[in-house]
A = this chain, B = another copy of it.
């Protein structure tokens, strides 16, 4: 019997999950839920219903795991606790500072109603968190670094688009090669925000807008750009649409540490991702963890979990015997 997955929200992430389900024989798409008019949402899996999000409760017995594809700012803080009352759920909540309160809210609802909820799943938080915790545990006498990119930051692209005179924009976060090499060197340098990443902006102006004013507005924007070396390229809408339509991303988690009684040996652990599609890869991680959530719910577990609480074997469709014989 397949694991029946519901997708709440059919944007880039929801579509990625639909595609990931097709790659996993033991997963099956049960329904897609949307806040739009369902008849206007065309999905790629024949025979599967698109349903108004308001009717999700009717699918209580038809879905094993509901994957919630909302945004971290306003959707997930409400949706994940709410849906954890009726479903086993997964989200990709990525506002790091608010994870403890989100965890508490989801944990309460999931426990009270006997469901398993997994929050903050994806690659960061997600696979990068795993890399940080494994490396921190193995090399306590060391220092860790996380670099992001080269990749498109949706938040930074949106911030540029809100500047008067900007018609469209795409922002790339770029790790600085010299900083990466310094992190790998074993010297464990202290690296500032400015030293680790640069920001590259591709901007389409409204007619008549002053490029100098826009460039200054970008480069001095607090939190988003002021602490970084930022370059701004003005391009045509055609060029932006042609060369910058994708959503690539990735990054590096490194930890180097000392071992031995004399601390004279250096050990470097490095985990990296190079992604053509940030949302499709995130969706692929969520799909694998849906299998784990289903298995844990089947064992009678309940409450909120993160990727740190889940044994790797639970993600795999292979049997424990197969894993030991061929993957260990």
User: Per a CB cutoff under 8 Å, which of B103, B132, B138, B273 touches A327?
Assistant: B132
Contacts of A211 in B (CB 8 A): none
| Stretch among A79-87, A193-201, A229-237, A313-321 lining the B interface | A313-321
A26 to chain B, nearest CB (A): 10
A16 touches B259 (CB 8 A): yes
User: How many chain copies does the complex carry?
Assistant: 2
Contacts of A271 in B (CB 8 A): 131, 270-272
Complex CA–CA separation, A268 to B316 (angstroms): 18
Known: A44-B261, A275-B267, A276-B266. A100 touches B324 (CB 8 A): yes
Question: Does A22 belong to the interface (CB within 8 Å)?
Answer: yes
Question: Does A57 belong to the interface (CB within 8 Å)?
Answer: no
A125 to chain B, nearest CB (A): 5
Kindly state the interface size class of chain A when it binds its partner.
35 or more
Residue with the highest number of chain B CB atoms closer than 10 Å, among A96, A100, A308: A308
Known: A134-B127, A311-B311. A321 touches B261 (CB 8 A): no
| 19 residue pairs A–B, Cβ–Cβ below 8 Å | A19-B261, A23-B141, A99-B325, A100-B324, A100-B325, A127-B269, A133-B323, A133-B327, A136-B327, A250-B268, A259-B276, A265-B276, A267-B275, A268-B273, A269-B272, A270-B274, A272-B272, A308-B312, A309-B320
Question: Does A140 belong to the interface (CB within 8 Å)?
Answer: yes
| Stretch among A30-38, A166-174, A212-220, A278-286 lining the B interface | A278-286
Instruction: Name the 5 nearest CB pairs between A and B, nearest first.
Output: A265-B276, A259-B280, A137-B315, A265-B277, A308-B313
Contacts of A260 in B (CB 8 A): 16, 19, 277, 280
Complex CA–CA separation, A16 to B265 (angstroms): 11
User: Per a CB cutoff under 8 Å, which of B137, B281, B308, B313 touches A288?
Assistant: B137
**0 or 1 for each of A1-41: is its CB under 8 Å from B? (1 = yes):** 00000000000000110111011100000000000000000
Residue with the highest number of chain B CB atoms closer than 10 Å, among A16, A184, A261, A277: A261
A47 to chain B, nearest CB (A): 16
B328 touches A259 (CB 8 A): no
User: Per a CB cutoff under 8 Å, which of B20, B129, B284 touches A328?
Assistant: B129
Known: A99-B328, A327-B133, A328-B99. A309 touches B308 (CB 8 A): no
